[in-house]
């Protein structure tokens, strides 16, 4: 299935969830052949993402709708402004409104959070990563929004990289055992192998086992600086755990290459957008 097919199916499910047996209010109040123009407007500073999802919502209910993008995907606008114009059947525009805005506001919020995070680490050499803490069913869209905001996508799922965390280590019987088994089972993913560590001893164990990247779990700034000095370039380092926009700057100054931030997707506030409708003669 193509990305277009997957997006269409996802938006169709969202519309079905909202419409159910039909939009009773719109059907009761708007004549069937009425035509209208809908204008979506950005009302707060931020980055826009999710135009294709919004377009799909309108097109599924009115295949003849005329849609015009008034801003590019990923564009940051401090003063907001017009985002999209749609001309078509008035009933279809009203029935698609909430689904289109839900996708667009949420994904723009993710892109906005990512852009703000990137600005906090600018000039430090650190990169901001997303995580798997995504809305079920929306991971691909949310990660695309992260990338549009300028941050970096981490692994897409459990299948494309090896990340050995503390529970894997406990189940395997130790860091050396976990790393050895992972390398033997999936040598093609050796370059992705990362091990979560909590202290200096575990850092040494992971390095000795051949880990090329270390996840520094919930370490404060002094601990991160000590870890950077201890590793001395022998592995890439990722800071993780409770990272916020307010703490990003100081974490980035410690010398780590990566900072992962679950809040990019699980806590990004929706961007303020509105839709106004103008009935056409």
Distance CA 93, CA 208 (A): 61
Distance CA 227, CA 36 (A): 61
**Distance of CA 33 to CAs 73, 88, 89, 94, Å?**
32, 10, 7, 13
Which neighbouring-strand residues pair with 108?
A: none
Q: Are 271 and 42 in contact (CB under 8 A)?
A: yes
**Distance of CA 156 to CAs 53, 144, 159, 163, 241, Å?**
20, 11, 8, 12, 19
Half-sphere exposure of residue 270: CA atoms within 13 angstroms, side-chain side: 10
CA nearest to 243, candidates 270, 230, 226, 224: 224
Sequential DSSP letters for 36-48: EEEEEEE-SSEE-
**Active-site residues: which are they?**
98, 133, 165, 196, 217
């Amino acid at each position: 299935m193509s990305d277009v097919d997957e997006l269409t199916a996802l938006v169709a499910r969202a519309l079905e969830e909202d419409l159910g047996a039909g939009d009773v209010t719109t059907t009761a109040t708007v004549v069937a052949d009425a035509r209208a123009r809908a204008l979506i407007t950005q009302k707060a500073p931020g980055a826009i993402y999710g135009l294709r999802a919004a377009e799909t919502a309108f097109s599924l209910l009115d295949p003849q709708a005329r849609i015009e993008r008034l801003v590019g995907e990923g564009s940051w606008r401090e003063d907001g402004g017009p985002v999209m114009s749609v001309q078509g059947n008035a009933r279809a525009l009203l029935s698609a409104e909430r689904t289109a805005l839900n996708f667009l506001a949420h994904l723009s919020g993710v892109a906005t959070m990512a852009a703000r995070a990137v600005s906090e680490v600018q000039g430090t050499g650190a990169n901001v990563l997303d995580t798997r803490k995504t809305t079920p069913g929306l991971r691909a869209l949310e990660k695309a929004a992260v990338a549009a905001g300028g941050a970096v996508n981490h692994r897409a799922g459990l299948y494309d990289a090896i990340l050995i965390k503390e529970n894997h280590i406990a189940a395997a019987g130790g860091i050396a055992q976990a790393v050895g088994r992972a390398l033997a089972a999936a040598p093609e993913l050796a370059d992705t192998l990362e091990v979560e560590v909590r202290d200096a001893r575990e850092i040494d164990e992971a390095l000795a086992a051949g880990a090329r990247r270390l996840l520094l779990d919930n370490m404060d700034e002094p601990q991160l600086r000590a870890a950077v000095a201890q590793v001395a370039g022998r592995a890439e380092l990722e800071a993780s755990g409770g990272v916020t926009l307010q703490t990003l700057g100081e974490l980035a100054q410690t010398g780590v290459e990566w900072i992962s931030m679950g809040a990019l997707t699980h806590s990004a506030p929706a961007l303020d957008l509105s839709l106004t409708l103008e009935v056409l003669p």
